[in-house]
């Protein structure tokens, strides 16, 4: 059997490996490390949990043993799809490089740019980053990639799922053509294969397991539930999940529970805590410090159940996970392989239980087609029955009890007298004498002159311009003529009669 001492690693690296308690490499490590030490490009294909991180960390530390980093020009670059995976790679680097003087920097979101800039300015040997934050630093002029000697792409298929492939292609173009590339993935989609053909030069292909296969150390079970009501499907699944956890008993020391949506992650975590389970959520919308605190609690055992979205499905190295529960069947078949790969790691036994409803049939067919096996069907725990609340129709929003303040406000409004819609408010009468309407003045007969039948042209009409006309003088004469006609025009309306109430003064106010 091959040992780490047979792989021509640096003596300081071998010392760190021995202190970590490892003696024999995994198949992916035994196959990739010799080619990486020779300076060749490596294409590693292996299922999750097989030790891919050490496959590039150990030879990288050995190759970077000589040389010195320059400011803003890292000597090596490791790209990871998520913050958690990048932080995990940094932890592995600290473990295996503790006897060397190599420096590192971690560029991930949720951390101050200023702190990361200080590390880059000093010069680092290993730069571990997510693609988005790396390009942010590059575009701000804080980073140069022309000195990269070794470039690593970890979990490349996850990069594809998260839409990072355009960023990866751009980063490849920013690095030197002479770089060494180590490319690792659990599956090889056509897009991933296109990238490897474009940017890798005669790579050594290391495939230790058939693509998209599940570990033999994982016991898989599929629990099928037919909800009695479609609108109560999620509630009934939560009740079944709690029954499954209780049926596992003490063998379920800890577990990761996967949901497809972030909103469902929060709902499930809250439901478990309400029923006395020690659970906490983790997904991409949470603050980075909170995510790391939750992961640390799950690693040290203070947290038993980790409710997660697929952000935690890839690359997290937590060896002692006893169970994985798929609360939702993943919509992408590859995600099933990565989810259940969180258990049964490093030769340990694990259990993966998936809850499925009739609407998940097409997703199950895709998963079983990918892994080339049928997932064994399991039975619902004995004595499990749905509660009455889960079988009734959910209460409409309008029937939910109102908050005390809103209810009190409605009661106050109910006590106020309501004025009818068409009722007029009473007006205070004025002490004035009634006014008698005057008789209308007799209308004057229409003029029989031809001028009355054909009115003169309006003043706005312009006369034809003649040479020698005094236009200003003509305008003044027209204005005077219009004023005269206006003064002699008959009064239209009340005529010469003025009503008495217009001549009478306002009533005097009564002094109180």
For residues 196 and 238, membership in a common domain is answered with: no
**Has residue 478 been placed in a domain?**
no
CATH number of 194's domain: 3.40.50.300
pLDDT of residue 448: 47
Longest dimension (CA), the chain: 132
- In degrees, rounded to 5, the angle at the alpha carbon of residue 487 between the alpha carbons of residues 482 and 492 is 110
Specify the pLDDT at position 477. Answer: 67
CA angle 151, 157, 163 (to 5 degrees): 90
* Same structural domain, 305 and 369: yes
pLDDT tens digits, residue range 242-291?
Answer: 999 999 999 999 999 999 998 999 999 999 999 999 999 998 788 878 88
Q: Is residue 134 part of a domain?
A: yes
The pLDDT of residue 495 is above 80? no
Say if residue 199 is in the same domain as residue 234. no
pLDDT at 430: 47
Quote helix, strand, coil % in the chain, to nearest 5.
40, 10, 45
- For 376, which DSSP code? P
442 in a structural domain: no
Q: Same domain for 157 and 40? A: yes
pLDDT of residue 450: 47
Asked if 224 contacts 362 with a C-beta cutoff of 8 angstroms, the reply is no
Q: Rounded CA gap, 252 and 364, in Å?
A: 25
Task: Check pLDDT > 60 for residue 489.
Answer: no
Same domain, yes or no, for 13 and 57?
yes
Same domain flag for 303 and 196:
no
Cα distance from N-terminal residue to C-terminal residue, the chain:
115
Q: Is the dihedral of CA 499, 502, 504, 507 positive or negative?
A: positive
Which pLDDT score is estimated for 194? Answer: 92
Indicate the pLDDT class of residue 52, thresholds 50, 70 and 90.
Answer: confident
- Looking at the fold, whether 174 and 227 belong to one and the same domain comes out as no
User: What pLDDT shows up at residue 265?
Assistant: 94
Residue 248: inside a domain = yes
Contact 259, 309 (CB under 8 A): yes
Categorize the per-residue pLDDT at 183 as very low, low, confident or very high, splitting at 50, 70 and 90. Answer: very high
Yes or no: say if 153 and 181 are a contact pair by the CB < 8 Å rule.
Answer: yes
Paired tokens of 274: 């309400």
Which pLDDT value is given to residue 135?
95
Among 157-166, 231-240, 452-461, top mean pLDDT goes to 231-240
Contacts of 121 (CB under 8 A, 6+ apart): 71, 72, 142
Task: Judge whether residue 231 has pLDDT over 50.
Answer: yes
pLDDT-derived band of residue 468, with 50, 70 and 90 as boundaries?
very low
161 pLDDT tier (thresholds 50, 70, 90): confident
CA 160, 165, 166 angle in degrees (round to 5)?
A: 150
- What pLDDT is stored for residue 217 in this prediction? 85
Last residue in a domain, options 341, 356, 385: 385
Q: Is the pLDDT of residue 346 over 90?
A: no
Is 170 found in the same domain as 57?
yes
pLDDT at 470 over 70: no
Residue 70 pLDDT grade (very low, low, confident, very high; cuts 50, 70, 90): confident
**63 and 188 inside one domain:** yes
- Domain around 56: 4-207
Q: Say which range, 89-93, 313-317, 491-495, has the weakest mean pLDDT.
A: 491-495
What's residue 51's pLDDT? Answer: 82
Same domain, 179 and 307: no
d(CA 129, CA 310): 19
Counted domains in the chain: 2
The verdict on residue 448 lying in a domain is no
Residue 475 included in any domain: no
Mean pLDDT of 468-480: 60
| DSSP-based three-state secondary structure for 1 | coil
Identify the pLDDT of residue 459: 52
Does pLDDT of 490 surpass 60?
A: no
Per-residue pLDDT of 201-221, as tens digits, reads: 999 999 886 656 777 889 999
60-74, 347-361, 423-437: lowest mean pLDDT where? 423-437
Measure the CA–CA gap between 62 and 66, rounded to whole angstroms. Answer: 8
What is the per-residue pLDDT for 195?
92
d(CA 138, CA 171): 10
Q: Is residue 321 very low, low, confident or very high in pLDDT (cuts 50, 70, 90)?
A: very high
Instruction: Look at residue 501 and tell me if it is in a domain.
Output: no
Judged by average pLDDT, the poorest of 41-55, 147-161, 295-309 is: 41-55
Strands annotated E in 384-479? none
Please say if the pLDDT value at position 452 is more than 50. Answer: no
**Where is the domain boundary, 179, 207, 235?**
207
Average pLDDT over the chain reads 82
29 and 157 belong to one structural domain: yes
CA distance 129 to 80: 6
pLDDT reported for residue 483:
60
> How would residue 234 be classed by pLDDT, with cut points 50, 70 and 90?
very high
| 161 vs 119: which has the higher pLDDT | 119
Does 236 share its domain with 363? yes
pLDDT tens digits for range 370-412: 888 999 999 999 989 999 888 888 877 655 555 555 555 555 5
Q: Which residue has the higher pLDDT, 161 or 71?
A: 71
- Residues 6 or more apart whose CB falls under 8 angstroms from that of 452 comprise 446
Pick the more confident residue, 476 or 145: 145
- Of the residues 369, 385, 401, the one at which a domain ends: 385
Q: Look at residue 442 and tell me whether its pLDDT is greater than 50.
A: yes
- What average pLDDT does the segment 214-238 reach? 92
Q: What is the pLDDT of residue 417?
A: 52
For residue 509, tell me if it sits in a domain. no
Q: How far is CA 213 from CA 17, 216, 473, in A?
A: 28, 9, 104
Mean pLDDT to the nearest integer, 87-97: 93
Q: pLDDT tens, 94-145?
A: 999 999 999 999 999 888 899 999 999 999 999 999 999 999 999 999 999 9
């Amino acid at each position: 059997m091959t040992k780490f001492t047979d792989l021509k690693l640096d003596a300081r690296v071998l010392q760190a490996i021995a202190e970590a308690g490892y003696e024999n490499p995994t198949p992916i490590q035994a196959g990739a490390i010799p080619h990486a030490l020779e300076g060749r490009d490596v294409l590693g294909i292996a299922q999750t949990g097989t030790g891919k991180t050490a496959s590039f960390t150990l030879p990288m530390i050995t190759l970077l043993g000589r040389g010195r980093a320059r400011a803003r020009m890292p000597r090596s670059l490791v790209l990871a799809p998520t913050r958690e995976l990048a932080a995990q790679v940094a932890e592995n680097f600290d473990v295996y490089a503790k006897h060397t003087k190599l420096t590192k920097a971690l560029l991930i979101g949720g951390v101050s740019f200023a702190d990361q800039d200080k590390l880059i300015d000093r010069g680092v040997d290993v730069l571990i980053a997510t693609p988005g934050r790396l390009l942010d630093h590059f575009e701000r002029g804080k980073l140069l990639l022309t000195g990269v000697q070794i470039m690593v792409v970890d979990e490349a298929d996850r990069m594809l799922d998260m839409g990072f492939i355009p960023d990866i292609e751009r980063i490849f173009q920013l690095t030197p053509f002479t770089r060494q590339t180590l490319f690792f993935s659990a599956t090889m989609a056509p897009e991933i294969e296109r990238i490897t053909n474009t940017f890798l030069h005669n790579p050594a292909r290391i495939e230790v397991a058939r693509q998209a296969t599940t570990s033999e150390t994982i016991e898989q079970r599929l629990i099928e539930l037919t909800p009695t009501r479609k609108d109560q499907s999620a509630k009934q699944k939560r009740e079944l999940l709690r029954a499954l956890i209780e049926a596992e008993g003490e063998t379920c020391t800890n577990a990761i529970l996967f949901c497809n949506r972030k909103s469902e992650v929060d709902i499930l975590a809250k439901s478990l805590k309400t029923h006395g389970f020690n659970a906490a959520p983790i997904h991409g919308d949470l603050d980075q410090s909170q995510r790391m605190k939750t992961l640390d609690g799950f690693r040290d055992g203070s947290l038993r159940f980790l409710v997660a979205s697929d952000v935690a499905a890839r690359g997290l190295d937590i060896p002692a996970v006893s169970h994985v529960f798929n609360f939702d069947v993943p919509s992408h078949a590859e995600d099933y392989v990565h989810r259940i790969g969180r258990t049964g790691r490093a030769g340990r036994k694990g259990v993966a239980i998936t809850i499925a409803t009739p609407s998940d049939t097409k997703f199950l067919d895709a998963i079983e087609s990918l892994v080339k096996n049928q997932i064994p069907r399991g039975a619902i725990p004995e004595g499990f029955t749905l509660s009455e609340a889960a079988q009734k129709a959910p209460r409409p929003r309008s029937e939910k009890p109102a908050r005390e303040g809103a209810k009190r406000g409605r009661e106050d409004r109910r006590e106020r007298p309501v004025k009818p819609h068409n009722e007029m408010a009473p007006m205070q009468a004025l002490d004035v004498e009634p006014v008698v309407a005057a008789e209308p003045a007799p209308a004057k007969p229409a003029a029989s002159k031809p001028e009355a039948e054909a009115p003169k042209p309006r003043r706005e009409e312009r006369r034809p311009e003649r040479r020698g006309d005094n236009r200003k003088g003509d305008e003044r004469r027209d204005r005077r003529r219009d004023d005269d006609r206006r003064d002699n025009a008959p009064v239209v309306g009340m005529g010469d009669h003025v009503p008495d109430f217009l001549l009478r003064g306002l009533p005097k106010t009564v002094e109180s």
